[in-house]
C-alpha cells in the first residue's frame, strides 16, 4: 500500500483498476511535469477518497483547455472525495485561469494551504464584468 505517490515527467496512468486498488491508502499525490488530461485527473479523483495533499506542478495539458471540473455532477462527487484535502500545490502552471482557480477552491472546501508559485493566473474578461462592474 502506498500512502504517498510522486510521478515526475510521466504520461498519466489511466487504468482505473490500478487507481481503485490504491485509492483507500493514498494520502498524497504529486504529479510534476506529467502529461495528464482533465478526464484522467477526474477519473483518479473520483476514485481517491483520502487525499490530504495534491500537487499538480507544471501539468500544462491539464489546464490548457480550461475545462477541468466543467461537469458539475463529477465536480460535486470529487468535492466529497476531497473532504480531507488540506494542501494544494498548483505551482508552475502557466495556463491556470481565475475560473479554474475558483473551481479548485469550490471543490476543496477544507483547504488550509494553497501554493501557486510561478503561475500567471489568466483572467477572463467576463469575470471582471460580473464581479467588478464599473
Strand partners for 113: 87
pLDDT of residue 97: 87
Contact 45, 74 (CB under 8 A): no
pLDDT of residue 116: 94
Q: Which residues of the chain are under the pLDDT cut of 70? A: 13-15, 122-134
pLDDT of residue 24: 80
pLDDT of residue 104: 93
pLDDT of residue 98: 85
* pTM as predicted: 0.86
pLDDT of residue 65: 84
Nearest partner of 4 among 54, 46, 40, judged by Cα: 54
Question: Strand order in 87-89's β-sheet?
Answer: 4-8, 28-32, 53-57, 87-89, 113-115
Strand ranges (E), the chain: 4-8, 28-32, 53-57, 87-89, 113-115
pLDDT of residue 54: 97
Reported as a single tens digit per residue, the pLDDT across 103-119 is 999 999 999 999 999 98
pLDDT of residue 58: 95
pLDDT of residue 8: 93
DSSP letters of 19-30?
Answer: HHHHTTT--EEE
pLDDT of residue 32: 96
Contact 89, 55 (CB under 8 A): yes
pLDDT of residue 90: 96
Buried b (16+ CB within 10 A) or exposed e, 4-41: eeebeeeebeeeeeebeebbeebebbbbbebebbbebb
Other CB atoms within 10 Å distance of the CB of residue 131: 8
Amino acid at each position: 500500500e502506498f500512502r504517498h505517490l510522486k510521478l515526475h515527467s510521466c504520461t498519466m496512468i489511466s487504468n482505473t483498476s490500478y487507481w481503485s486498488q490504491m485509492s483507500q491508502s493514498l494520502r498524497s499525490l504529486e504529479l510534476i511535469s506529467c502529461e495528464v488530461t482533465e478526464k484522467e485527473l477526474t477519473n483518479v479523483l473520483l476514485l481517491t477518497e483520502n487525499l490530504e495533499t495534491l500537487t499538480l506542478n507544471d501539468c500544462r495539458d491539464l489546464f490548457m483547455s480550461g475545462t477541468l471540473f466543467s461537469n458539475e455532477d463529477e465536480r460535486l462527487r470529487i468535492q466529497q472525495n476531497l473532504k480531507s484535502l488540506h494542501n494544494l500545490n498548483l505551482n508552475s502552471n502557466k495556463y491556470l485561469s481565475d475560473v479554474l482557480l475558483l473551481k479548485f477552491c469550490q471543490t476543496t472546501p477544507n483547504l488550509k494551504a494553497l501554493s501557486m508559485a510561478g503561475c500567471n493566473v489568466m483572467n477572463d474578461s467576463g469575470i471582471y464584468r460580473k464581479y467588478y462592474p464599473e
